[in-house]
């Protein structure tokens, strides 16, 4: 177990740790050791990791320490412990995808994001637990990843281990994927910051796909600025940190149909409070509606179902018993989607994207709740009919606009986090980061779970 002083450092920002490294006040070896100790302290209660890369991480940390001793100029991620959803190819390291079928699979290539993290000196401490093939259901061989605010609840999927580990100081960031909600739901449930960037901002090379039309890759972190730092290093984007802080005059469109329809009174109250806070920070608030947003989730299903089933043709007939029942049921439905249904869905996707663009010509950003409720006991699944979890997130996978989830506060009854979602114009992550950072700073920022 890490000492109290070291444990406090595990919750510092990436920039703070980077500065401590440069000033030689703490070493990458010390931070990596403390991170791995924290992991051992909380596993398997969290069940956030499939593979732990302890020896590899410490070897990388020792090399990073030598670089800082020499005073070399390196990136902000250099020597920073991070994790990776177990859906990305990692050469020589098992990539399970949370499945029995791939449990012993060792790729011969690196995913782009893994390569980018390595190139920038990040220390990969392990690969995170996830829903099977990122497809809405946990495989019993791996088990549910638990929520750090209440281990009897789920951390949220499909980037389950990414959300849980970052929230409790096991690494400063994790890389997840989001096809309908899979970065933003864990962020909402665990009280952290998660970004689904603009479509194709981060290369999907080396990612096992779920739905190539909707898949996005993005970072999960504890602060908005950490999120931007990570995105800078896994994409070609750069952000002007000096412009952050002031959001006076920014036009914020509240998506009323997705906000006023919240049935949970505590979530609704937190949204009202968040909107008021943005107003007090000087944002100009507008009520907006996006035509078709209430039904766009239904249009997304033929796309997800058909595309996902495409990637499982070699296993579907022969490995039924190796899938979880819900995953197999989803794949079976995918083979029933007709070409006409799929093409009609793509046309609806295009029309909806244009509708979102039209609204974003009137305002700078959009906001709504991330999820209509706090963490549930189990991961909701399509097979159980629980698709409302992605009703407020999947619209922006369909449109491809960037969407950021950050904590709007915790419920009073059970002390569980609730997410606020901020959606921006294409390739304008900077504005949603700016609003998210101002909101985060004004509400006290990241809050530690009780674990």
Structure tokens at 2: 């890490």
Name residues whose C-beta falls within 8 Å of residue 113's C-beta, 6 or more positions apart in sequence: 84, 88, 175, 202, 203, 206, 207, 217, 234
Contact 323, 132 (CB under 8 A): yes
Active site residue 318: no
For residues 311 and 301, what is the distance between their CA atoms, to the nearest angstrom?
Answer: 16
- How many residues are present in the chain? 451
Q: Which of 18, 137, 158, 211 is catalytic?
A: 158
Q: Where are the domains of the chain?
A: 4-295+339-442
Give pTM, 2 decimals.
0.97
Active site residue 182: yes
Active site residue 85: yes
Residue-wise pLDDT tens for the chain (451 aa)? 677 789 999 999 999 999 999 999 999 999 999 999 999 999 999 999 999 999 999 999 999 999 999 999 999 999 999 999 999 999 999 999 999 999 999 999 999 999 999 999 999 999 999 999 999 799 999 999 999 999 999 999 999 999 999 999 999 999 999 999 999 999 999 999 999 999 999 999 999 999 999 999 999 999 999 999 999 999 988 888 777 888 999 999 999 999 999 999 999 999 999 999 999 999 999 999 999 999 999 999 999 999 999 999 999 999 999 999 999 999 999 999 999 999 999 999 999 999 999 999 999 999 999 999 999 999 866 555 556 899 999 999 999 999 999 999 999 999 999 999 999 999 999 999 999 999 999 999 999 999 9
For residues 388 and 279, what is the distance between their CA atoms, to the nearest angstrom?
Answer: 28
Q: Which ranges in 160-264 belong to alpha helices (H)? A: 160-167, 184-190, 224-234, 256-259
Q: Which of 182, 213, 390, 399 is catalytic?
A: 182
Q: Which of 140, 135, 142 is nearest to 159 (CA)?
A: 135
Contact 395, 210 (CB under 8 A): no
CATH topology of domain 4-295+339-442: Amidase signature (AS) enzymes (3.90.1300)
Q: Which of 76, 85, 348, 349 is catalytic?
A: 85
For residues 10 and 14, what is the distance between their CA atoms, to the nearest angstrom?
Answer: 10
Q: Which of 228, 196, 297 is nearest to 437 (CA)?
A: 228
Contact 128, 351 (CB under 8 A): no
Contact 389, 185 (CB under 8 A): yes
Burial class (CB in 10 A: 0-12, 13-18, 19+), 426: middle
Contact 405, 193 (CB under 8 A): yes
């Amino acid at each position: 177990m890490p000492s109290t002083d070291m444990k406090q450092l595990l919750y510092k920002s990436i920039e703070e740790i980077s500065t401590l490294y440069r000033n030689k006040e703490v070493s990458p070896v010390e931070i990596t050791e403390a991170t791995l100790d924290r992991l051992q302290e909380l596993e398997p209660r969290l069940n956030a990791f499939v593979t732990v890369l302890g020896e590899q991480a410490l070897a990388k940390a020792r090399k990073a320490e030598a670089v800082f001793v020499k005073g070399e100029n390196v990136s902000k991620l250099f020597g920073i412990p991070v994790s990776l959803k177990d859906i990305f190819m990692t050469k020589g390291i098992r990539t399970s995808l949370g499945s029995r079928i791939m449990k012993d699979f060792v790729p011969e290539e690196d995913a782009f994001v893994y390569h980018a993290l390595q190139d920038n000196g990040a220390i990969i401490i392990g690969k995170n637990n996830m829903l099977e093939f990122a497809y809405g259901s946990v495989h019993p061989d791996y088990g549910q990843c638990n929520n750090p605010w209440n281990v009897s609840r789920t951390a949220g999927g499909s980037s389950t281990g990414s959300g849980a580990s970052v929230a409790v100081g096991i690494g400063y960031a994790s890389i997840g994927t989001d096809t309908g909600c899979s970065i933003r739901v864990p962020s909402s449930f665990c009280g952290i910051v998660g970004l689904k960037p603009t479509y194709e901002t981060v290369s999907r090379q080396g990612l096992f796909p779920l739905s190539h039309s909707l898949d996005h890759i993005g970072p999960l972190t504890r602060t908005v600025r950490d999120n931007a730092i990570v995105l800078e290093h896994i994409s070609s984007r750069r952000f002007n940190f000096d412009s952050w802080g002031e959001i006076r005059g920014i036009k914020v469109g509240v998506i009323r149909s997705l906000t006023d329809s919240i049935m949970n009174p505590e979530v609704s109250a937190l949204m009202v409070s968040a909107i008021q806070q943005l107003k007090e920070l000087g944002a100009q608030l507008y009520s907006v509606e996006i035509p078709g947003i209430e039904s766009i989730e239904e249009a997304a299903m033929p796309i997800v179902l058909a595309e996902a089933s495409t990637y499982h043709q070699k296993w579907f007939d022969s490995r039924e018993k190796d899938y979880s029942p819900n995953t197999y049921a989803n794949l079976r439905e995918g083979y029933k989607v007709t070409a006409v249904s799929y093409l009609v869905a793509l046309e609806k996707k295009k029309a909806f994207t244009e509708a979102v663009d039209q609204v974003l010509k009137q305002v700078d950003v959009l906001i709504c709740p991330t999820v209509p409720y706090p963490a549930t006991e189990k991961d909701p699944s399509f097979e159980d009919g629980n698709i409302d979890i992605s009703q407020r997130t999947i619209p922006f996978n369909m449109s491809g606009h960037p969407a950021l989830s950050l904590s709007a506060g915790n419920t009073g009854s059970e002390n569980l986090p609730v997410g606020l979602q901020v959606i921006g114009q294409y390739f304008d992550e900077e504005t949603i980061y700016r609003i998210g950072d101002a909101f985060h700073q004004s509400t006290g920022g990241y809050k530690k779970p009780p674990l």
